[in-house]
Structure 1
Amino acid sequence: MSTFLGSVWWMIVSLGVLVTFHEYGHYWVARRCGVKVLRFSVGFGKALWSRTGRDGTEYVVAALPLGGYVKMLDEREGEVAPADAPQAFNRQPVGRRIAIVAAGPVANLVLCVALLWGMFVIGRPDFAPVVGQAEGIAAAAGLQRGDTLLAVGDRQTPTWSEAALALATAAMDHQDTVLRVRTRSGNEATRTLPLSRLPADTGQSHAIARIGLTPRHQLLPPVIGRIEPGTAAWGVLAEDDRLTAIDGTPISTFDEIGPLVQRIGERKAMVEVERDGDRLALELAPRRRVDPQRGAYWALGIAPAMAPLPPYDAALHYGPLAAVPAALRETWKLARDSVAMIGRLASGRASVDNVSGPITIARYANASAQLGPAWFLNFLALLSLSLAIINLLPIPVLDGGHLLYYLIELAKGSPLSERAMVAGQYVGLALLAGLMGLAFYNDILQLLR
């Protein structure tokens, strides 16, 4: 399956499941509150299949599987027979209306916990949070190759994904952060990462690079992928050569070559390589280069060969019972991060580049599905939680806007006027249109980049 078709398919699956579950929450509570449900539709548009239940509800599977909706009996939307009036949504006490509207986001929250439980039981494979290279701010904090990140602030980091997310979140706040690490010698120590020194425009996507951290699993092997004509290596080394030592110093990753070359300078040195099963010792002398940003430096004129990621060496995994509190903790952590991100966006402390739309969702859905069921469940859980939080925002048209109306009704003892609610609907539509426009713009810009 192509990337495009895979992205479309997994987005349909993701949104179809999550939005339908959201609507089922409304439906389930409405039925138990005595409200008559006229239609429960999985999907939109033309009905492909329909059946009317004994309760009078029409159950529909529609042609466009991008969610669903629940249509309840309501006197504001059409005539209602006097005998059915007590079952109309608008006739319900405000407490019941609040419960019905809140049930959708609550259903997504419950689904998030269930999905995370499934992820933990299956076990999500990942990479160990081991430092491969430390430069800049990371080096200034004392981090070194081989250090294992045990915690970032008060957050445990059993895998690199947890460590990267915690570091990116702290970087956006530009707050110096204490790390707990295990050094290569096996001793535990603390390091203070001076994140306040990061540039003001540091966003979540490039925070790790600006911190100066490269995880161990992203280090490239010392294999030559390209040789520049006319350089020191031209005619001496060959593509696919694996460098094993320079000037007697063994090397295991490509990033170790640069510092050794700078140490050698202009003098000749022996470069040991493996080529087609043979071990060779070749003599060459680095040549001086001048770069406007980097300045003068010594170079061989070689570029690394791209290599696949190594096998996973860590996992998030719990037994069925232990996975329950773990899922609850993870849901709380993700919810706290999501709400904090909304606060950063509203205050301008985070770039609006972090707002993503359906194109990005589709790409991540496909990518996570390719990584296996545990990663896909993790993606679905995060998307379900995001759907719950977004729907609870006090924006008219969303569930949170209706809840705001009902809370005002509770406070003042009477419903808002029809005129005020209509005005709120227009404001809500304008806000949603602006948000969707920004999301599409960011999606397209990211594709172009």
Structure 2
Amino acid sequence: MSELVGSIWWMLVALGVLVTFHEFGHYWVARRCGVKVLRFSVGFGKPLWSRRDRHGTEFCIAAIPLGGYVKMLDENTLDEGDAPVAASDRAQAFNRKPVAQRIAIVAAGPIANLVLCVALLWAMFVVGKQDYSATVGHVQGLAAQAGLQRGERIVKVGDREVATWSDAATALTIAAIDGQDARIEAESADGDVSTHTLKLSQLPAGFDQENVLGLAGMAWQFQLPPAVIGKIAPGSPAAASLQPDDQITAIDGAPIHDLADLQAKVAVLGQRGGEAMVEVDREGERLAFPMAPRRMKTPDGVEYWGLGIEAKATEMPPYDALQRLNPLAAIPAAFRETGKIASDSLGMMRRMLVGQASVKNLSGTITIARAANASAERGLGWFLWFLGAVSLSLAIINLLPIPVLDGGHLLYYLIELVKGSPLSERAMAAGQYAGLAALAGLMGLALYNDILRLPF
């Protein structure tokens, strides 16, 4: 399945599940409060299928699969052409219900997404989510100064325990955005635990917040391909001796673990000058050739020391970490994971509001669709995690005090609860316009960020 088709398909699947569950929360509580629900629609537009239950609610699947809605009997939101609410039905109208019940009905949607998030993460832990461990591959710069070593596995960043590379990367990025040094606990292959201080506070002002680890001089082990030759430039230092598919294993006796290691050692050799013995593995045979790097240029004109080789494209290594628990142990783990995702999301929102975090961290539909496809390709555990994270995001976003969202309605009802009477129609209309403007601005910014991330 192509990335475009896959992204569209899995995005529609995600929206269908999450929005339907959100709207079901509104529907379920509305029915318990005695509100007449006129329609429960999955999707928008012309119904493709529908049926009506004994309570008079029309359930339908519509032509445009981009969300859904619940339409309740409400004297204040009659569509053009709707008949006035009959006197016998007024007691079932949403606007006639006590403010506490209206608050419960509106809050039920985000709460449903929160409950779904916990359930999905529980299922993720039971099914199991494969990932890569937070094992350090290449270090230089701040990471080398901190004493981190190749092969060490990061187990804790500050007070936060980490199980995978993504956990560690998130914790380190947050510390960098906050301008704080990160205290890291790492475990060697022999089981020895050491503590390091990564001085992220020394990153330059205005640093790229999407590349914190690269700026700190650290790469994960799984990200570094072996130094296997794909192509050799004619007339280059490597042309006379090396062949495609050779794997470079050492330079002057110093082992080469991966491509980044090769680049660093070639640069040192070039600055030193002279030849060095380049050792390779050629179909199981160990060979060595004298070679001296030469100054070369990238296509955009940047000079570097090189041997004239291009690395062979390799597949990702097998996963070396698995998050899987029995059904009972998965229950508290799901709640902890939900709390961690919520804390990270709310913290990032706060940092963007106060200007600490770049608004480039804001993502829209395109990025979410691509993430949906990528997670589905990585397996059921990853897709369950993705659904849980997006469900929680929907809950948080819908609770923002923006009038067109659930949070805005809750704000109106809380004001009504305090002052004893509803806001005026003029005040609510002004709030709706302001909310639409704010939401349009956020969506526009998110779309702009999505376009910048596209691999043109």
Q: Same fold (TM over 0.5)?
A: yes
- CA distance in structure 2 between the partners assigned to 1:202 and 1:25 by the alignment: 42
Shift, 1:384, TM fit: 0.4
Partner residue, 1:97: 102
- CA distance in structure 2 between the partners assigned to 1:105 and 1:185 by the alignment: 47
2:62 counterpart of 1:55: no
2:416 counterpart of 1:409: yes
- Equivalent residue in structure 1 for 2:362, among 355, 363, 383: 355
What letter corresponds to residue 50 of structure 1 in structure 2? Answer: S
Residue-by-residue CA offset, 1:339-388 (whole Å, 9 max, x unaligned):
11111111111111111111111111001000000000011111001100
- CA distance in structure 2 between the partners assigned to 1:8 and 1:389 by the alignment: 24
- Equivalent residue in structure 2 for 1:117, among 118, 122, 126: 122
Structure 1's unaligned 5+ residue stretches are none
2:10 counterpart of 1:10: yes
Shift, 1:294, TM fit: 12
Partner residue, 1:445: 452
- CA distance in structure 2 between the partners assigned to 1:438 and 1:257 by the alignment: 40
2:36 counterpart of 1:36: yes
Matches within 5 A, 1:80-229: 80-229=85-234
- CA distance in structure 2 between the partners assigned to 1:22 and 1:433 by the alignment: 22
Partner residue, 2:67: 67
Return the TM-score normalized by structure 1.
0.95
- CA distance in structure 2 between the partners assigned to 1:413 and 1:241 by the alignment: 80
Contact 1:170 1:177 in 2 (8 A): yes
- Equivalent residue in structure 1 for 2:336, among 319, 325, 329: 329
2:277 counterpart of 1:270: yes
Partner residue, 2:23: 23
Shift, 1:145, TM fit: 0.7
Greater shift in the superposed pair: 279-288 or 110-119:
279-288
Structure 2's unaligned 5+ residue stretches are 79-83
What letter corresponds to residue 315 of structure 1 in structure 2? Answer: L
What letter corresponds to residue 154 of structure 2 in structure 1? Answer: L
- CA distance in structure 1 between the partners assigned to 2:440 and 2:301 by the alignment: 45
What letter corresponds to residue 53 of structure 1 in structure 2? Answer: D
Contact 2:178 2:356 in 1 (8 A): yes
Shift, 1:171, TM fit: 1.8
Matches within 5 A, 1:291-302: 298-302=305-309
Q: Secondary structure at the match of 1:71?
A: strand
Contact 1:266 1:298 in 2 (8 A): no
- CA distance in structure 2 between the partners assigned to 1:298 and 1:437 by the alignment: 43
Partner residue, 1:247: 252
Contact 2:230 2:313 in 1 (8 A): yes
- CA distance in structure 1 between the partners assigned to 2:341 and 2:304 by the alignment: 45
What letter corresponds to residue 327 of structure 1 in structure 2? Answer: A
Residue-by-residue CA offset, 1:291-346 (whole Å, 9 max, x unaligned):
9x999975323232221111001111111011010000111111111111111111
Return the TM-score normalized by structure 2.
0.94
- How many percent identity over aligned positions? 61
What letter corresponds to residue 13 of structure 1 in structure 2? Answer: V
- CA distance in structure 1 between the partners assigned to 2:297 and 2:60 by the alignment: 69
CA RMSD across the alignment: 2.1
Greater shift in the superposed pair: 202-211 or 23-32:
202-211
What letter corresponds to residue 53 of structure 2 in structure 1? Answer: G
Q: Secondary structure at the match of 1:349?
A: coil
